[in-house]
Each structure stands twice: as structure tokens, then as C-alpha cells.
Structure 1
Amino acid sequence: MSLLDLDEWLIDLAAHVDLVYSPIADTKIFPSAVDLALVEGAIANNEHLELIHTIRRNSRILVSLGDCAVTGNVTALRNPLGAAAPTLQQIYVDHGDPRGIIPSEPGIVPVLLDTVVPVHAVVPVDHFLPGCPPPAPRIRAMLEALLEGRTPDAQGPEMLRFG
């Protein structure tokens, strides 16, 4: 949503970029030779793990966008509960579904990792943009710098604030 808060600047941005992969574009396969990938969200299941390796392999610059990608944040709140299997047992059997069934249909429900981790715990990240979510001016500042071939200035309270 913060990306959409860039409002009319998105029109200017569209003149300089091609959106090749996103939930908006509904592309199923991450393409090769991507200049810039903005990745939001932590790595919590086997699909995330596979996709982040593909994104890193096929992207020149990778940005962790938002506190979940940078630190694990809310998604990682399940980590103190322990491994995935006992967590699912508590959620679905002990406290949830009256039938006591843990969803496990192959190919439909991704397999949870035992620990939720931030993106940089799995692959190298070039830039970090914290915030939950990062405000539009922060996103714009980073994108403008990267489009101009500059290293983003991620200093000061406005650029580094979490939450």
C-alpha cells in the first residue's frame, strides 16, 4: 500500500521501469535479468525459500522492503513457539479446528520452516528499507537513488526508523 501512496510519482516511475513480477502483474515465474527486486515479507515456508533464491539469482540489486523482510518482525512472532510441527499442532488441533486436522494437502499448503527468518539470513541483500510499512517518501528516496545509479542514503531517523 505504501508503494501506491507514491501517487502521481508512480506515473513518472513507470516511464523508467518495467514491472515484470508482482502480485499485481500475476506473473507465475520470476524472470531472469531483473535489475531491481523489492522483496517484502519474511522467509517462513518452503515456497518463500525457493522463490528468494530464484529472485537473488536473477536480480542485480535486491532490496529488503519493510520490517518483515529486514528483521522477520510480526511473521517471526511464531519462532518462540518452537518448530513448525508443534506450532501447527497447537494452532489447528489443540486450539483450532474442531476436527483436529492440520492442513497438509501437497501443492496447496506450503510447508512451514521451523524458524521464520529475514531475507538476509538466506541470501545476500544489497539494501535495506525498514518500516512497517516503509512510508512512501522513504520508498521514493531509495528508488530515485537507485534509478540515478547512486547508493541510497539510508541514514538519519527518517530513513532508518522501524515500526
Structure 2
Amino acid sequence: MSRLRIATIWLGGCSGCHMSLLDLDEWLIDLAARADLVYSPIADAKQFPPDVDLTLIEGAIASDEHRELAKTARRHSRLIIAFGDCAVTGNVTALRNPLGPARTVLQQVYIEHGDPRGVIPHEPGIVPVLLDKVVPVHQIIPVDYYLSGCPPSAPRIRALLEALIEGREPPADIRYG
């Protein structure tokens, strides 16, 4: 059997899900013997590769860059896992939604309450364009599994990964897309 190709993505969130992934401690050595991490903020890869077996997407979709990376991951991944509550529901990242569209939020933060220069950053290619509404991953791309938790615990992450590596269905507490 060929080695599993795993990717992780960090969108609008706090990186707590990736920290829980690192909390797998010694089991990461076992995982490395069975799978390759081909894209991740942990590995600092720049281009999302083709032929990925499973991608864990942490965070909600809050910008045009997030949306495009999620779409790219979907095109190049056999399985997509919404990884943590921000990816599953929008959670904390989506708390900006009641404040109104992106322009209103940026006006409040940079002009009314923040930057003494009174300038909203807008450098193309440097500052991503915020979406008017933060959304969970499944509202942009199809998701195969949902691993809830803020963040999900290391044992739940391990249970999911072990099942998928072994070709089994994940535990019942992981919802299906």
C-alpha cells in the first residue's frame, strides 16, 4: 500500500487545532512512518500539491484567499475534513458577522478606533480581501467529515487519522458530510 498523503490548512482561526495535532506527541512518529505531510503551515509549503489523500482544514473562510485555498484543496484532495469548530460552524471567527459587511468592520477598526493614520490596508497581493460574511468550510466546498471541538482533542484526531489510514470508517462522533 502506498503512503497516505496528508495536508493541513489553517484559515480563519487561532491555530489551536494544529496545536492539538502536535499534541499527538510520540504517535506523530508512528504517523510519519505511514503517511507523508505534503502541505501544512507546520511544513511551510507554498503550493498546494496534487493527489492529496486527506486534507484537514482548520478555521473558517473569512477572506478571498481562504476561499481560493479551500477550493484548491477540494480539487486536489480525495477527502476533506472540517477540522475544529471554526471550520465546522464558523465559531469564534464568525463573531464578526453581526457587525456588518467587511467594509463596515474595517472602517470601525482602522478609521474610528484604531490606526492613527486612519488608513484601511488594501495592498493587493499582501492584504487579503475580507468576505462580507465569515462562513464554515462546507458553505464553500463539499466536506467529507466534520471533526468538532475547540480544539478537537488529540485522541479524537488520532482516532480519525487511524481509521482513515486503515481504510475504516471513523468513530461515530465524527459526522459525515
Deviation at 1:25, TM superposition (A): 1.4
Query: In the TM superposition, what is the alpha-carbon distance from 1:99 to its structure 2 partner?
Result: 1.3
Cα distance, 1:154 vs structure 2: 3.1
Match of 1:129 in 2: 147
2:60 aligned with 1:42, yes or no? yes
1:66 partnered with 2:84? yes
Match of 1:57 among 71, 75, 81: 75
Deviation at 1:150, TM superposition (A): 1.1
Where does 1:100-111 land on structure 2 (aligned, <5 Å)?
Answer: 100-111=118-129
Structure 1: tracts of 5 or more residues without a match: none
Pairwise CA distance, 1:118: 0.3
1:148 and 2:166 aligned: yes
Question: Quick one: which amino acid aligns to residue 95 of structure 2?
Answer: L
**What residue identity is the alignment partner of 2:115?**
D
Over 4 Å off, 4+ runs: none
Give the Cα separation in 1 of the matches to 2:142 and 2:39.
20
Matches within 5 A, 1:90-101: 90-101=108-119
For residues 38-81 of structure 1, what are the alpha-carbon distances to aligned partners after superposition, in whole Å with 9 as ceiling and x for unaligned?
11010000000100000000000110100010000111000001
Q: With the length of structure 1 as denominator, give the TM-score of the two structures.
A: 0.94
**Whole-angstrom distance in 2 between the partners of 1:66 and 1:24:** 17
SS at 1:106's partner residue?
coil
CA RMSD of superposed structures (Å)? 1.0
- Distance in 2 between residues matched to 1:6 and 1:61, nearest whole Å: 21
Alpha-carbon deviations, 1:111-155, whole Å to 9, x = none?
Answer: 000000000010000000011110100000000111111111132
Count of residue correspondences: 157
Deviation digits for residues 73-117 of structure 1 (CA, Å, limit 9, x no counterpart): 111000001110011000110111111110111111000000000
- Residue among 20, 31, 42 paired with 1:13: 31
Report SS of the residue matched to 2:54: strand
Partner of 1:113: 131
* Structure 2 residue ranges without an equivalent (≥5): 1-18
Query: Deviation string for 1:11-59 (max 9, x for gaps)?
Result: 0010110110001211111001100101101000000010000000000
Q: Name 2:4's counterpart in structure 1.
A: none
- Establish whether residue 3 from structure 1 lines up as the match of residue 46 from structure 2: no
Determine which of 65, 69, 75 is the counterpart of 2:93.
Answer: 75
TM-score, normalised relative to structure 2: 0.86
SS of match in other structure, 1:2: helix
